[in-house]
Amino acid sequence: MSVFALVDGNNFYVSCERVFNPKLEGRPVVVLSNNDGCAVARSAEVKALGVKMGMPWFKMQDLARRHGIVALSSNYELYADLSSRMMSILGRYAPEQEIYSIDECFLGFDGFQRYDLMTYGHDMRQTVRQWVGIPVCVGFATTKTLAKLANHCAKKGLTGAEGVCDFTRLNEQEIQELFTRIPVGEVWGVGRKLAERLEERGIAHVDALRRSDAKVLRREFSVVLERTVAELNGVSCLGLDEIAPNKQQIMSSRSFGKYLHDLEPLEQAVASYMAIAAEKLRRQQSKAGLVQVYVRTNPFAEHLPQYQQGLSAPLPEPSDDTLRLIKVARWLLKKIYRPGYAYQKAGVVLMDLQETASLQRSLFAHNPDNERLMEVMDRVNAVWGRGTLRCATEGLQKEWSMKREKKSPNFTTRWDELPEAY
């Protein structure tokens, strides 16, 4: 019998902030999106106050003053590093691991029938908590969909103990009683709109979905929902993806910290975004055959003139060279730039991606990529931090950078921001 575990970091971004600032424990904390716009992570204390995911910061400031909510800017460098440490530890507990997102992963436990999974889960929680400082919950089940649901039950305290839930311990009656208490919208892959359509058919909780006719649901909805029903009944349809597939396109975009009007700062921003995208491209050992650049004003600032435009261009030969890709991106930007507008956002997209190893070049093509230079850039930036070695087109001051006025230090990734012990 196959057994899967889903391990999920609790309020992950908030938990990362609390690792190096224990004074935040027990206090209402919210982590904000780019430019300190909306809530992207909330502590349990903030959720209890009724703050919803995505709520704009300016709308909760009165609530923040009354209840002492601590607002922090997103510190993605810190979160990524702590995620890597957490995933490395969890990978030691099982022969198979699929990293599903920055704060959760699936583990495969085939052949672990003799183990007490509850004890094993508690050991995982304690080790991650002690070694990294992140609280996690663990859900065990015979399919990935059920493991997701078991994790939800562990997190909400619906069953299990101390953040660990093992569905393989429950009998059919216990499963039925539990599933009738869980709304259908909590099932992995059932979004809000789909949940509403299912509720119209009288399928309001998980047990009702589990007992539905899968063939009928396939005809009326999709084959994905049919598989979901099978997974809820213990039939494993989804295996572990130990190696994440390469992305089919790579996008890099940001809203600016302030409006930009001139071409030069826009060029700096587009060059910086392209450098990030090109680094990701090389990391997955691919080359891009098509480049797209787009700019736009703020659609919510109705008192300002509005403009939005994008343009794409194919490359003569697929490339992963930051300098070549920046050159093309700047050419595209000049084509779509119009003076007289307050630009709020720009972005680049790399498309028509091909694996470098299997790339078929033209017989008469000359490869102008600076492969050795790119290798040196990646190595230097991996050791000393992104942007240590960069193209001059990206600029030096970057006054247009996104606003992160409440950001904590990069405690684990920058020498000059290491925590100090007194």
Q: H/E/C letters for each residue in 34-93?
A: HHHCEEEEECHHHHHCCCCCCCEHHHCHHHHHHHCCEEEECCHHHHHHHHHHHHHHHHHH
193 and 120 fall within a common domain: yes
**Distance between CA atoms of 17 and 41, rounded to whole angstroms?**
11
71: which residues sit within 8 A by CB, 6+ positions away?
A: 29, 30, 31, 32, 36, 57, 64, 406
CA angle 320, 326, 332 (to 5 degrees): 120
What is the pLDDT at residue 404?
76
pLDDT of residue 139: 96
Q: Which of 359, 385, 409 is the last residue of a domain?
A: 359
- What pLDDT shows up at residue 243? 56
Residues 198 and 90 in one domain: yes
- Helix, strand, coil in percent for the chain, rounding step 5: 40, 20, 35
In this prediction, residue 67 carries a pLDDT of: 93
* Claim to verify: residue 106 and residue 142 sit in the same structural domain: yes
Residue 120 belongs to some domain of the structure: yes
- The pLDDT tens digits along the chain (422 residues) read 789 999 999 999 999 999 999 999 999 999 998 888 889 999 999 999 999 999 999 899 899 999 999 999 999 889 999 999 999 999 999 999 999 999 999 999 887 777 889 999 999 999 999 999 999 999 999 999 999 999 999 999 998 899 999 999 999 999 999 999 999 999 998 888 999 999 988 999 999 999 999 899 898 888 999 999 999 999 998 888 755 666 788 999 888 888 999 999 999 999 999 999 999 999 989 999 999 999 999 988 889 999 999 999 998 888 999 999 999 999 999 999 999 999 999 999 999 898 887 777 666 666 677 889 999 999 998 888 778 888 888 888 777 777 777 888 888 888 788 887 76
pLDDT of residue 367: 63
Backbone φ and ψ of 42, nearest 5°: -135, 140
What is d(CA 75, CA 73) in angstroms, rounded to the nearest whole number? 6
Q: Which pLDDT does position 400 carry in this prediction?
A: 78
On whether both 256 and 345 belong to a single domain, the answer is: yes
pLDDT at 403: 73
Query: pTM value?
Result: 0.80
**Residue that finishes a domain, picked among 233, 267, 283:** 233
Which of the listed residues 340, 359, 378 is the one where a domain comes to its end?
A: 359
Query: Do 203 and 183 lie in a common domain?
Result: yes
Task: Look at residue 397 and tell me if it is in a domain.
Answer: no
Amino acid at 293: V
- In b/e form, how buried is each residue of 365-384, taking b as 16+ CB within 10 angstroms? eeeebeeeebeebbeebeee
* DSSP helix/strand/coil, 127: helix
Contact of 240 with 143, CB cutoff 8 Å: no
Residue 270 domain boundaries: 250-359
Q: Domain count of the chain?
A: 3
Query: Which is nearest to 15 in space by CA: 132, 138, 100?
Result: 132
Radius of gyration of the chain (CA): 24
Q: What is the CATH number of the domain that holds 264?
A: 3.30.1490.100
- pLDDT tens, position by position, 8-57: 999 999 999 999 999 999 999 999 988 888 899 999 999 999 999 999 99
Residue 101 lies in a domain: yes
Provide the pairing of β-strand 29-32 with 136-141: unpaired
Q: Write out the two tokens for 33.
A: 């999106």
3-state secondary structure of 208: helix
Task: Supply the DSSP string of 150-203, one letter for each residue.
Answer: HHHHHHHTSSSBTTEEEGGG--HHHHHHHHTTSBGGGSTT--HHHHHHHHHTT-
CB atoms within 10 A of CB 108: 19
The alpha carbon of residue 59 and the mean position of all alpha carbons in its chain are separated, in whole angstroms, by 25
| 104-108 vs 4-9, strand pairing mode | antiparallel
